[in-house]
A = this chain, B = another copy of it.
Amino acid sequence: MFSIGELSKRTNVKVPTIRYYEVMGLMPEAERTSGNQRRYDKAGLERLSFIRHARDLGFSIEAISSLIELQEHPDRSCEAATKIATSQLEGVRTKIKRLRTLEKELSRISKGCDGEGVSEDCYVLASLADHNLCDREH
């Protein structure tokens, strides 16, 4: 049994974040000492590692809730888990596409001015003022 600070160190999740996960229902309500402090065991550590890993991969709290729910019912179909993962992947791909478009425009805009002129003639400012200077939609 270890404290919340110890759990925090082992998982690299900050103490207030662990408490937040408890409030959100991701972490179960921890056992308490007689003085009301949280104590965790291996199960708590594994649960938090799962959450941390999923968060690192960009899953939302809500998605993680569903995944944990599934995990706690080993006999249920895992269809939902796969769906959550593929939709997460799709979301990431959409974001990448969007960012690549932005990257191209921003790169063009940045290159257009060396920062040695005056605001009036600045290509950065002109570009922002006029989307027609952009190469594509974004």
**A residues engaging B (CB < 8 A)?**
46, 49-50, 53-54, 56-58, 67, 70-71, 73-86, 88-89, 92-93, 95-96, 99-100, 102-103, 105-107, 109-110, 113-122, 124-125, 128-131, 138
Contacts and interface: CB of A to CB of B under 8 A. Distances in A.
Copies of this chain in the oligomer: 2
Contacts of A56: 138
B46 A129 contact: yes
14 contacts: A50-B128, A53-B128, A57-B102, A71-B119, A76-B118, A77-B116, A82-B115, A83-B115, A85-B124, A86-B110, A92-B106, A95-B95, A95-B99, A99-B99
A12 B75 CA distance: 49
